[in-house]
Structure 1
Amino acid sequence: MSQDYAFESPRLNFRKLEMSDCGETYLAWLLDPEVNRYLETRHSEQTIELIQGFVAGVNSRPNEHLFGMFRRDDGRHIGNIKVGPISALHRRGDVSLFIGDRASWGQGLATEAIAAISIYAFDTLGVAKLASGMYANNQGSYRAFIKAGYHQEGLRRQHGLIDGELHDILECGLIAQDLAATRKALLS
């Protein structure tokens, strides 16, 4: 593994995002209605400058860790994954991601990325629990978290707005006892 990467998985390398990653491709992802359908960024204007500000802000906070996902076969940046904020007191954090490169959809890369960052968070960052929430109709994301060893822990009814309609939010979590399934998911 290159020293530039924080961790890796069978098909992906992960490294802290840099300003050079915040270009036209990243902006195009956030402007694509299919990509941003379930992202909160869809509610606000997106520019390269705003993306750079977001990345700089996250990178400046010690309790948040934002990584670009890069294909190992060709080095292409396909999306981002974040763990944080992490509560030091409770040793828990949130996981969120998006794959902006639509050519990389449907290949199990989200599951692989979730498993990889989860193992990293437990083994390197010292978390005891990870959580994620997603719109209930975002079944691709839900399945990716479940395949990565997470368990559904809750349902927030009519909790988020999509196209003017309220939708349920599913809450999923991962604890240390679940890590065996997560490690297995990373290898399958």
Structure 2
Amino acid sequence: MLNSKRLVLRALHPSDLSTQYLSWLNDGDVSRYLETRFLPQTMEALQSYWQNHRDDPANPWFAICLVEDGRHIGNIKLGPIQWLHRRADLSLFIGDKSCWGLGYASEAIGLVRDWAFRELDLQKLNAGIYAGNIGSRRAFEKNGFELEGTLRQEAVSDGSRVDVWRMGLPRSSWLSAS
């Protein structure tokens, strides 16, 4: 469990696999930049994905919950962790739209970033962000990530080819900012 003043990041429980969670994945606004958007999501698929990934040490996956009421508002995942190179990707989404724009994504990124560098001794964190997802880019930048490159026409979004920004944060930069 990782904690801040406003958030608790904890393991995803079976009870989190709710109709609300499923509605997030099938909401075009929420899933606009998620890979899950290409197929309608079902409860069976959600439960199967959780079952197959819940105990994977190379892909720690957390529910983002509010301290004030324990409400599950999204997820954050570190992985896959490349242990040989001591690096990992970081990805997240805030599914509860009433929580958008309140800094929860930045706060969750900071918690996982610090845990990854302090506890897991990772040396580099990366994130891939669809160009146009300004909110996500800002959340990562607030946590020290910098643009390392743009992958031109890397992905499909709304039927068009789009760029993907590659953001990165080496441990050395994190240490010097701490």
Bin of the TM-score, shorter chain as denominator length? over 0.9
For 1:181 and 1:89, the matched residues in 2 are separated by 24
Query: Is the aligned partner of 1:25 residue 2:20?
Result: yes
Question: Partner residue of 2:39?
Answer: 44
The Cα offsets for residues 102-152 of structure 1, whole Å up to 9 and x where unpaired, read as 000001111111111111111112211110001010011011100111111
Question: Partner residue of 2:92?
Answer: 97
Count of aligned positions: 178
Report the identity percentage: 45
Name segments (4+ residues, structure 1) moved above 3 Å: 180-183
Question: Partner residue of 2:72?
Answer: 77
Amino acid at match of 1:110: A
Does the aligned pair in 2 maintain the 1:150–1:178 contact within 8 Å?
A: no
Question: Partner residue of 1:3?
Answer: none
Query: Is the aligned partner of 1:171 residue 2:169?
Result: no
Tell me, which stretches of 5 or more residues in structure 2 are unaligned? none
Tell me, which stretches of 5 or more residues in structure 1 are unaligned? 1-5, 184-188
Question: Partner residue of 2:3?
Answer: 8
For 1:134 and 1:10, the matched residues in 2 are separated by 27
Aligned pairs for 1:150-161 (under 5 A) are: 150-161=145-156
Does the aligned pair in 2 maintain the 1:115–1:182 contact within 8 Å?
A: no
1:116 aligns with one of 98, 111, 115: 111
TM-score (norm 1): 0.91
- Offset at residue 163 of structure 1 (A): 1.2
Does the aligned pair in 2 maintain the 1:122–1:128 contact within 8 Å?
A: yes
CA RMSD of aligned residues (A): 1.3
Query: Is the aligned partner of 1:144 residue 2:105?
Result: no
Secondary structure of the 2:68 match is coil
